[in-house]
Copies of this chain bind each other. A is one copy, B any other.
Amino acid sequence: MIRVVLAEDQAMVRGALASLLGLEPDIEVVGEAATGQEAVAVVLSARPDIALLDIEMPVMDGIAAAAEIFRAVPACRVMILTTFGRPGYLRRAMEAGASAFMVKDSPARDLAAAIRRVLAGERVIDPVLAAAALSAGPNPLSRRERDVLGAAADGSTIGDVALRLHLSEGTVRNYLSSAIQKTHARNRIEAVRRAQAQGWL
């Protein structure tokens, strides 16, 4: 039996995926989690063969959880299953030691197949996404540029961001300006959208 731990924050989707995997005769869901933190804990106690993680989760996101599981339980293969096929996500997932990266709009039948392939030692990566990630290149934003852009994403004014990050307003403006240029955007909002679409941020 292939023992799987499932992490996904939307309970109904989590339950549905569990029932989907339950249909497979050789797969068994031995644990569920709603946050990344919970996922790490469950994997530590259940010691599954596979950890199937969503990325968008509260408390700790799936990529951070992947890194932690990869470090603490090397015997457990980590698979990422996510809504948004963003090149930056794929890159970061691979760096975190994930063995697979797939998106939720591929067919349901592919999931079990991917699990078996991963267990056989293969790496499974959505081919469309792999191409996109390669052509997109790495994240051009510096650490600070990401921080500032991220802090401005919710509509905060420059003053707010400066306060929150303990920076001068002028400095915030400068980082924002360079982020705008690096993303080829025309203003802050476009820069945020572009960065999010690429999985930088």
Contact = CB atoms under 8 A, between A and B. Distances in A.
Interface of A: 9-20, 22-23, 81, 83, 104-111, 154-155, 157, 185-193
B10 A20 contact: no
Contacts of A155: 185-193
A13 B16 contact: yes
A193 B154 CA distance: 7
Given A19-B20, A189-B189, A11 B157 contact: no
A131 B134 CA distance: 47
Given A19-B19, A155-B185, A185-B155, A13 B104 contact: yes
Binding site secondary structure of chain A: helix
B111 A12 contact: yes
A108 B190 contact: no
A-B interface, 6 closest residue pairs, ranked by CB to CB distance from nearest: A15-B108, A155-B189, A16-B16, A155-B190, A16-B20, A10-B104
A14 B13 CA distance: 9
A12 B186 contact: no
Contacts of A188: 155, 189
Given A10-B83, A155-B193, A157-B186, A16 B108 contact: yes
Contacts of A192: 155
Contact of A15 (B18, B107, B186): B107
Contacts of A19: 16, 19-20, 22-23, 108
Contacts of A191: 155
16 contacts: A11-B104, A11-B106, A12-B106, A12-B111, A13-B13, A14-B108, A16-B17, A16-B108, A19-B22, A19-B23, A154-B189, A154-B190, A155-B189, A155-B191, A157-B186, A157-B187
